[in-house]
Chains A and B, each alone.
Chain A
Amino acid sequence: MTTQRGAADDTSVAPVPIHPAATTGPAGRGIPVPRSDPPAPVRGEAPAAAPDGFHRLHPLTPFLRGWVIVAAFAATVGRNLAEDVTARAIGLTMIFLIPAAGLYGYTAWRFTRYRIERDDLRLDTGLLVRRTRYVRLDRLQSVDIVQPLLARFTGLAILRLDLAGREHRERADGDGGEAASDLRYLSLGHAHRLRATLLTAAAGLGGDAPEAPHQRLAEVPPRRLVAAIALSPAPWVALFGAVAIAVPSLLTGTRAGFLGAVPLLGWLWHRTIRVFAAGYPYTVSTSPNGLRIDSGLLERAHATIPPGRVQAISVVEPLLWRPFGWATIRMNVAGRGPSVLLPVARRADALDLVGRLLPGVDLGRVRLDRPPRRAVLLAPLHWWALACGADDAAFVSRHGLLRRHTDVIAHAKVQSIRMVANPLVRVLGLADVQLDTTGGPVRVKAGLRGREEALRIVAAQAERSRLGRRRAVPGAEPPPGDGPP
């Protein structure tokens, strides 16, 4: 336990010289890792492994976690401000609260350790209830580095491990949930190295590897992002709403109106400044480890999605963006990956990206068919936007009059196919077809097709998905008795 220090030590104090070899993997196999893309200057040093190969989180962790408790307390006080809370009461509470928060943070840190084993990342947590979690490396969907603002000031980062089928498991064990397999906090440099190691292990290569070189695919120019925000309705609704509430109260001289405008101003902030801070700078690049998304002005997020984990993609074109040919690209990733691929992109770039992520898919080439005429009765306006079609690579469906969605799913990624006919559409002899994918913002649905046509779509899609899956797994044996068509 060479790095075990008092929680009060500062990062700049490094009492023990730390060998870089001990940081990258088990049993000191590591080599000093060259990085092609040096991230932000690395301040905190990586923790050395204990003799048994276990690592600790960064010693500043208790401060960042204890801070949350203090902030929660401050928020409670703020809410109860109406009642008279004396400074003495606050001070007294703080005297008890701060050591308690510190003690909690320290013990949580002291009893959390992790180790990379042959096939797993082992994570031990808990003082009273000891829990050991084995994260299967070959089940890793993506490994993200997230830096909330406070962590960014201190040069720390959260390493977020995403696993397939989280929803199931979270319901099953019901503990910890979201944060259960996050490593928080590590120094940024160590987080980058550990991520590279985990991703290579997840790709089945084993051993240690430098962070893979990457090639830039797309980024968001700030001017386009600002224009896109200005062209979306939500900020204007919020702004005019706030003005409409605040002005009368200003004229009559009451202050109550201002309080009414506060939530709307909050919404305005959320839809303008926050959207901008999340969308600029925003870079999408490819690397052998998969797709990389680096984003965020204040809170940086670095997400890596291994190849083939993108399940479905949606290109969304709001009405006001269409004259400029802009679109938002959203996607479903197996696990808890990011759901936005690009906040604003030119349509041509969007189609190009879709083709890269779902190989063989050319959105412009797929022929889309409208639903039958009689469906107008159920969809008098958006009938004109509804369409669906498929080629031999993907199924495409379009919907939405004001916000036009073009949803794409590669045949091999279809989890199940459903046809649903509720009484309303059944009267007209129609049915909806839905292609299920893993959770995310994209729902692929071919609405209001004729009943016979819907059945044909289901049957044809079952066949296309079968062939798609077979192509996706070259090693798999073809089922006996049916050759390629």
Chain B
Amino acid sequence: MADVLLADPAGWRVLSPDLRRLRRTLLILGAVPAVVLTVLVTVAVGGWPWSLVALVPLAVAGWAWLAIGRVCRAWRYAEREDDLLISRGVLVQRLVVVPYGRLQLVDVTAGPLARRFGIARVQLHTAAATSDAVIPGLRPPEAARLRDALTERGEARSAGL
């Protein structure tokens, strides 16, 4: 969406599909018990026809399944010469420009589940608490490369406060 900012659309990088896999796995882990529980409760209380109520959590889960796909596809980032672009969001669309010279620290985190799926999360901090720059699903080598590149350029272009 940002042709003004990035002349070459191929400069955008996308997230690892493993993030989608992780989030959908979590969704299934939550949705299956919810559907089963709804069926059991409704059948026990009202009889078989009532089990159709279970379609509600099923529909929600289906919608969430599609939403996860769209959100993960919309989440992109691009390294420009002096700043990092992050574009994300389907419903609320956001575009963040973080200059390398303003980076205070770069966090790379990977929880136990994320490690199982082979992804890590990179978060950029500036002196402003409102800069909201997160890249959630990167393969660890790419996350490490990005972290090193960012800190290196941050040092080269560092500009006080």
A contact residues vs B (CB 8 Å cutoff): 141, 164-165, 167-168, 308-309, 311, 334, 412-423, 426, 431, 434, 436-439, 443, 452, 455-456, 458-459, 461-462, 465-466, 469-470, 472-473, 476-477, 479, 481-482
Cβ contact within 8 Å between A167 and B129: yes
B127–A482 touching, CB < 8 Å? no
A402 to B2, CA, bound (A): 35
Contacts A309-B161, A415-B131, A419-B94 given; does A466 touch B82 at CB 8 Å: yes
Say yes or no: A436-B131 contact (C-beta < 8 A), given A418-B94, A423-B91, A462-B83. yes
B157 close to chain A: CB less than 8 A = yes
B133 within 8 A of A: yes
Nearest Cβ on chain B to A141's Cβ, whole angstroms: 8
A-B contacts, CB under 8 A, total: 117
B1 to chain A, nearest CB (A): 8
Query: A residues within 8 A CB of B1?
Result: 455
On whether the beta carbons of B126 and A415 are closer than 8 Å, the reply is yes
Partner pick for B127 among A415, A443, A459, CB 8 A cutoff: A415
A-contact bits for B2-36, CB 8 A (1 contact / 0 none):
10110000000000000000000000000000000
Other-chain contact of A422, B92, B97, B125, B160 (Cβ < 8 Å): B92
> CB distance A455 to B4 under 8 Å?
yes
The interface residues of chain A lying within 8 Å CB-to-CB of B5 are 455, 458-459, 462
A477 to B159, CA, bound (A): 11
- Alpha-carbon gap, A165 to B126, bound state (A): 9
Could you list 19 further interchain pairs (A-B, Cβ under 8 angstroms) beyond the known A436-B126, A458-B97?
A: A416-B126, A416-B131, A419-B95, A420-B92, A420-B94, A421-B92, A422-B92, A452-B4, A455-B2, A455-B5, A461-B97, A462-B99, A469-B99, A469-B157, A472-B159, A476-B157, A476-B159, A479-B156, A481-B81
Question: Are A438 and B81 neighbours in the complex by a CB distance under 8 Å?
Answer: no
The 3 A-B residue pairs with the shortest CB-CB distance in the complex, in nearest-first order:
A436-B128, A415-B128, A416-B131
Is B102 interfacial (CB 8 A cutoff)? yes
Q: Is the CB of A426 within 8 A of B93?
A: yes
Of A167, A420, A437, A466, which contacts B83 at CB under 8 A? A466
State whether B101 touches A438 (Cβ < 8 A): no
Can you pick out 30 interface pairs between chain A and chain B where the beta carbons lie within 8 Å of each other? Answer: A141-B161, A165-B104, A167-B129, A309-B161, A334-B127, A412-B159, A416-B98, A416-B131, A418-B97, A418-B131, A419-B94, A420-B93, A431-B93, A437-B128, A438-B127, A439-B129, A443-B130, A455-B4, A458-B4, A458-B5, A459-B2, A459-B4, A462-B5, A469-B99, A469-B101, A473-B159, A476-B158, A479-B82, A479-B156, A482-B81
Interface: B96 (CB within 8 A): yes
Q: In the bound complex, what is the Cα–Cα distance between A101 and B81 (angstroms)? A: 59
The chain A residue sitting closest to B97, CB to CB, is A417
Given the interface pairs A419-B95, A455-B2, A455-B5, the reply to whether A438 lies near B128 with Cβ below 8 Å is yes
Closest to A461 in B: B97
Please, how many angstroms separate the alpha-carbon atoms of A459 and B5 in the complex? 5
Listed in ascending order, the chain B residues whose CB lies under 8 Å from chain A are 1-2, 4-5, 81-83, 91-99, 101-102, 104-105, 125-133, 156-161
- A465's nearest neighbour on chain B, judged by CB, is B99
Residue contact B128 to A416, C-beta cutoff 8 Å: yes
B159 x A416 contact (CB < 8 A):
no
Residues in B whose Cβ lies below 8 Å from that of A472: 159-160
In the complex, chain A residues whose CB is within 8 Å of the CB of B91: 422-423
* A134–chain B nearest beta-carbon distance, Å: 19
A419 to B133, CA, bound (A): 12
Interfacial chain B residues near A476, Cβ < 8 Å: 157-159
Q: Which residues of A contact B133 (CB under 8 A)?
A: 416
Taking CB atoms, residues of chain B closer than 8 Å to A417 are 96-97
Known: A455-B2, A473-B159. A418 touches B126 (CB 8 A): no
Contact B102 A415 (CB under 8 A): yes
Q: Contacts of B131 on A, CB cut-off 8 Å?
A: 415-416, 418, 436
A462 contacts B97, C-beta separation under 8 Å: yes
Contact of B99 among A311, A416, A426 (CB under 8 A): A416
- Give A165's nearest chain B residue, CB to CB: B127
Q: Are A458 and B99 in contact (CB under 8 A)?
A: no
A-chain residues with CB within 8 Å of residue B95 when the two chains form the complex:
418-419, 455, 458
A458 to B91 alpha-carbon distance, docked (Å):
20
For residue A168, which residues in chain B have a CB less than 8 angstroms away from its CB? 104-105, 125
Q: A414: which B residues are within 8 A, CB to CB?
A: 99, 102
Contacts of B132 in A (CB 8 A): 418
For residue B130, which residues in chain A have a CB less than 8 angstroms away from its CB? 418, 434, 436, 443
A334 touches B161 (CB 8 A): yes
- A477 in contact with B160 (CB, 8 Å): no
